[in-house]
Structure 1
Amino acid sequence: MHDNPETAPDGRPPAPAPEGRWARFRKTPWWPAVVLVFILAAAAGLFAGSYTYTMADPTPHQLPTAVVGSYDQARGRAFLAGLGEALNSSVRTHVYDSRDAALAAVENQKVFGVFELRDNGQHVLLDVSSASGSSVAELLEQAAPAVGRATGVSVTVRDVNPLQDGDPRGLAIFYISLAAVIIGFVGAIQLSVHARALTPLERIAFTAAYALLGGFAIAAVVDWLLGALDLPFVESWLILAFTMFASGMTFTMFNTLVGRWAMLPTWGVMILLGNPSSGGAVSWPLLPSALGVIGQWLPPGASVNAQHTAVYFAGHQHAFPFLVLAGWALVSCAVFWIWRHRHPGGREQRPPDLAPDGGGA
């Protein structure tokens, strides 16, 4: 008869082998704390780097402008060539038949300024639009007169669509959109912590509820209380609510897919990439070209674009930013719903056969 290798001579099971230090460390609360220390350090550097890269030294990359009048005369060609050289060949001129057509292009946000060349190119009337982008308008206001002096062309600058008095730098829209984005996903985080037992449908409904109320609060404070912006209130409110909902559901989607690390992709999409490339603080022609394109497809950029048009270009709203927000919201809801069993929240439903009797014997 042979001894059982799984038992000791006295018949009892052998003692488990002692764990190594690394295995014991992984089971302590120090392990996730150490991981978070390095993640937060990396996040701090990436946060500072992303904003510095996009905003510290804005440089024109592709600046669409309209040209009308004597642009084909020698003096006019010299002025436009000098302007392109001064702005590193970033100016893209589009010829229009009339000044009215060019100004309509400004209203539709196709161009950022109108150069009307008069008197065989000896005089230039530059119409800028601070509402289209204060940083771009400021750049044109500085560059055009300097080029005019160098080429012997007189330049007159005027602002055909100025910013509102309470928002002289054009940053208020960026701030309210930033608030909607951040509170949107922070709200979803708080629901996952303090209302963990919500069912999937309830979680979506409460996300929509705080988005509607939060969007109203942002618009009311900025418009009614502070008077910083004269908002088209209902439209601005709904844009903010839509932004908060899309942001909140984006976190919920990542929470379903990657669990407790959901903050990392949410922060990356919304804060590290989305906000610097949104065009709110620095207009998209001054952003690195790739970011200027990517930003329009992310919720922060879509929110800024929709809000910007609602406030300063009434009647010229575009469907694209709303489609972007709707896409993020629908995809996030769909992913959450399809894989809802993976979400760390929810509550168990008691099977019917285990329900307590409702009657007598």
Structure 2
Amino acid sequence: MSTRRTIAVVVLVPLLAALALWAFAWPAARTAPRDLPLGVAGPAAATAQTEKQLRQHEGAFEIHHYADEAAARAAIEDRTVYGAVVVTAQGPELLTASAASPVVAQLLQQAVGRQAVASGAEVRTVDVVPAPASDPRGAALNSSVLPLTLAGIIAGAMVTFLGLRGFRAVTALVVSAGLVGVLAAALAHSWLGVLTGNWWAEAGTFALSSLAVSAAVAGLAALVGPAGIGVVAFLVMFLGNPFSGAATAPQLLPDPVGTIGQWLPPGASAALLRSVSFFDGAAAVGPVLTLTWWAALGLGAVILGNALKARAKGTTPATQRELTSVG
């Protein structure tokens, strides 16, 4: 038995290390725009050349057409596009939103700037929705994803190992997630000042993000045992975090990594936090539904697992009595 365990350690540890390196390093090494939503505003005749130049970056941009600068600004504020090139009589103007992704804003400045230099024009850049001055690179928001994931895993594991069942487990998970939300908002918004939206909306986002993970951990553990903790932890830590696009944007990750990441709690959490903090809740429906489904299914699994165990315990004595009477 000891030999088997030794072999398991020798084999599994390098495999897990290789998997972790792949999950975290591969998307980072392949960062590039892939169908990145970008607006072009102005009369069709004036924007034709700009669109032609942008389409030379094959597969990089998903072009959206707008009549004027006001429409392009509205699209950025609604999170329909990450930026827009406005063609004016004075020359091209680039609208960005560093709050949506500082990396994308810089990428657009480089791409559009190179085209402008080649054509002899000068581009004026306007940051329509700027990142807060206390976190211009979005590092604090990106750093919030991992702690929320860890908090959820720990809460779900504690509920499992402390033997909480049914509605007691549900209550513990919901209350702990609520406290996580309040504390996280107090730190990120009130103390550090890296979030600038509605305080309670941010607290609710933190709470829902933590609950989505903790409920999934406790729910799967209630159905399949402690192994469920490892399964969910692997899914949200090894895949959810590197696939979240929190540090860059989902459209900068290799396909289908960016899409998969938005189906997992870390990616949905980062997207929702940006929406409620900087964009007045624009484009928040999708992430809210994703996190809500994770939380609801997890809590439902907690109750179902408890019911199945209670039923099994209730039928076993009856079965034994029946066998005894037959004997």
Task: Identify the match of residue 126 of structure 1 among 83, 94, 97.
Answer: 94
Task: Identify the match of residue 312 of structure 1 among 272, 278, 282.
Answer: 278
Output the CA distance in 1 between the equivalents of 2:247 and 2:197.
Answer: 19
Structure with the greater alpha carbon radius of gyration:
1
Output the CA distance in 1 between the equivalents of 2:85 and 2:277.
Answer: 25
Question: In the alignment, does 2:304 pair up with 1:338?
Answer: yes
The offset of 1:312, in angstroms, is: 0.6
Greater percentage in helix: 2
Output the CA distance in 2 between the equivalents of 1:343 and 1:298.
Answer: 29
1:198-234 CA distances to partner (integer Å, 9 max, x unpaired)?
A: 2221111111121111221222122233333335221
The offset of 1:70, in angstroms, is: 4.2
In structure 2, what is the equivalent of residue 56 of structure 1?
Answer: 29
User: How well do the aligned residues superpose, as a CA RMSD in angstroms?
Assistant: 2.5
User: 1:39 and 1:329, CA in 2 relative to 1: closer, same or farther beyond 3 A?
Assistant: farther
Output the CA distance in 1 between the equivalents of 2:12 and 2:124.
Answer: 53
Output the CA distance in 2 between the equivalents of 1:234 and 1:331.
Answer: 24
Output the CA distance in 1 between the equivalents of 2:78 and 2:308.
Answer: 45
In structure 2, what is the equivalent of residue 7 of structure 1?
Answer: none
TM-score (norm 2): 0.87
Output the CA distance in 1 between the equivalents of 2:141 and 2:186.
Answer: 14
The offset of 1:67, in angstroms, is: 1.2
Question: In the alignment, does 2:196 pair up with 1:230?
Answer: yes
Question: In the alignment, does 2:86 pair up with 1:116?
Answer: yes
Q: Kindly report which structure 2 residues correspond to 1:1-361, keeping only aligned pairs within 5 A, or say none.
A: 25=1, 35=8, 38-73=11-46, 76-85=47-56, 87-119=57-89, 123-193=91-161, 195-196=162-163, 198-316=164-282, 318-340=284-306
Instruction: In structure 2, give the amino acid aligned to 1:208.
Output: V
1:52-94 CA distances to partner (integer Å, 9 max, x unpaired)?
A: 1112341111111111124524xx4334323332x44412221
Q: Tell me how many residue pairs correspond in the alignment.
A: 313
Identity within the alignment, %:
27
User: 1:202 and 1:37, CA in 2 relative to 1: closer, same or farther beyond 3 A?
Assistant: farther
- 3-state SS of the aligned residue for 1:262? helix
Instruction: In structure 2, give the amino acid aligned to 1:67.
Output: V
In structure 2, what is the equivalent of residue 10 of structure 1?
Answer: none
Output the CA distance in 2 between the equivalents of 1:239 and 1:36.
Answer: 39
- 3-state SS of the aligned residue for 1:124? strand
Contact in 2 for aligned 1:78/1:151 (Cα 8 Å): no
- 3-state SS of the aligned residue for 2:236? helix
In structure 2, the gaps of 5 or more residues are 318-327
Contact in 2 for aligned 1:177/1:240 (Cα 8 Å): no
Contact in 1 for aligned 2:188/2:195 (Cα 8 Å): yes
Q: 147-156 vs 109-118, which deviates more?
A: 147-156
Output the CA distance in 1 between the equivalents of 2:213 and 2:58.
Answer: 37
Output the CA distance in 2 between the equivalents of 1:264 and 1:308.
Answer: 29
User: 1:36 and 1:136, CA in 2 relative to 1: closer, same or farther beyond 3 A?
Assistant: same
User: 1:152 and 1:79, CA in 2 relative to 1: closer, same or farther beyond 3 A?
Assistant: farther
User: 1:235 and 1:124, CA in 2 relative to 1: closer, same or farther beyond 3 A?
Assistant: same
Output the CA distance in 1 between the equivalents of 2:157 and 2:4.
Answer: 22
- 3-state SS of the aligned residue for 1:132? coil
In structure 1, the gaps of 5 or more residues are 1-24, 352-361
TM-score (norm 1): 0.79
The offset of 1:291, in angstroms, is: 1.7
Output the CA distance in 2 between the equivalents of 1:33 and 1:249.
Answer: 34
1:306-330 CA distances to partner (integer Å, 9 max, x unpaired)?
A: 1111111015353221111111111
Output the CA distance in 2 between the equivalents of 1:208 and 1:36.
Answer: 36
- 3-state SS of the aligned residue for 1:250? helix
1:99-148 CA distances to partner (integer Å, 9 max, x unpaired)?
A: 211111111111111111123xx721111111121111110111111111
The offset of 1:36, in angstroms, is: 5.4
Output the CA distance in 1 between the equivalents of 2:117 and 2:52.
Answer: 14
- 3-state SS of the aligned residue for 2:92? strand
1:1-33 CA distances to partner (integer Å, 9 max, x unpaired)?
A: xxxxxxxxxxxxxxxxxxxxxxxx2xx6x7567
Contact in 2 for aligned 1:336/1:343 (Cα 8 Å): no
